[in-house]
Amino acid sequence: MRLIKMTDYNYRTMVLGQPIYDSKRRILLTAGRTIDPKIKDRLLDLGISYIFVEDEVSKGIELDDMLDMPTWTEAIKDVQEYHELVRDNKKADIRKIQEVAKKLTNEVKGRVMLVLIPSGAIAKELHLYAHSVNVAILSLLTAKKLGYSDIRLKDLAVGALLHDVGKMLTRDYDKHSESGFNHLRFVSQMSIVSAHIAYQHHEKVDGTGSPRKIAGKDFIEVAQICGVANLYENLITKEGMPPHEAMEGIMAASDIYFDHHIVQSFTHAVPTYPPGTRVIVDNQYPSIVTKVDKHFQRPVVKILADDRVVDLAEVPTVMIKPDLTAS
Ligand SMILES: [Fe+2]
Ligand SMILES: [Fe+2]
């Protein structure tokens, strides 16, 4: 199975590897089916820009390290419910968010790596909530590298799941961080750390961020982690960048937006070329990434011409680069 852009889908050679869900999280198309060309445009209109497929190229790629779809959509549901209650000025139950935080923490702790399901794999009405779940997962992966304790992981996950909750309270984008903070700091059982994550997630260490232009140490580490995760998720989902390009964007932000050690932990926690990525090996062999384990920048690849499997972690001089011509 591999992840592709919907625009690259070919009904002659590919079947769905995962179901497609609508805005109510109901299954629109089941795994194993093909997508009729007429339906493709409708799915794009629904905001579904990424799909998982099985085809000749994806043979031998098991996305074991991906969060399973039911766990992902359940988390999205709980995050959506919380946001909608806040929007409607009703009492929202923080315990559900804490439970989601705990579940995601266990998923991250129990694995060497976790492949992201992009928000664009689900209908656009759910993108904000899928984004929040993904930012929480990416934050947890980074914090795990930094050796965080369970209590700090929990505060981070709750803050990341609700980092954009202010968007439910104001239409002014520039005010959403502060609105979120002002909501969260009055929620009982909420750690003030989680509230500050929402407050600071658009700040930058060089003092050019928003809303307060804080700099250096004032930009607390947990909020930096959420900030880097948020930037990465936005580069993939909003800008449509492939993972390796989003990763370059993150590396370019080192010591400008975020402290170097945060960026470094992120690059060691999230693979540059996730399984299923089309790459060129040694400047000449079109290949596909089958596995990432020992080294997050040096995956195991299968050379497509002869099905040869090469572990790039063991041949450090062999180059890897993205295959920009493949779909
Ligand atoms: Fe935000
Ligand atoms: Fe965000």
**Gap from CA of 202 to ligand 1 centroid (Å):** 6
**Gap from CA of 239 to ligand 2 centroid (Å):** 13
pLDDT at 299 > cutoff 90: yes
Backbone Cα Rg of the chain: 20
Average pLDDT, the chain: 95
Q: What is the pLDDT of residues 21-68, one digit of tens each?
A: 999 999 999 999 999 999 999 999 999 999 999 999 998 887 878 888
Alpha helices in 88-162 (DSSP H): 94-109, 127-145, 150-161
**Gap from CA of 159 to ligand 2 centroid (Å):** 11
Q: Which DSSP helix (H) or strand (E) runs through 303?
A: strand 300-303
For residue 64, count CB atoms less than 10 angstroms from its CB and return exposed for 0-12, middle for 13-18, buried for 19 or more.
exposed
Closest-approaching ligand to the CA atom of 230: 2
> Would you state the structure tokens that stand for residue 183, as one six-digit string?
């909501």
Per-residue pLDDT band for 311 (boundaries 50, 70, 90) equals very high
Closest-approaching ligand to the CA atom of 166: 1
**Gap from CA of 132 to ligand 2 centroid (Å):** 6
**Gap from CA of 268 to ligand 2 centroid (Å):** 22
**Gap from CA of 164 to ligand 1 centroid (Å):** 5
The residue among 292, 146, 125 whose CA lies nearest residue 226 is: 146
Closest-approaching ligand to the CA atom of 201: 1
Closest-approaching ligand to the CA atom of 211: 1
**Predicted pLDDT at 29:** 95
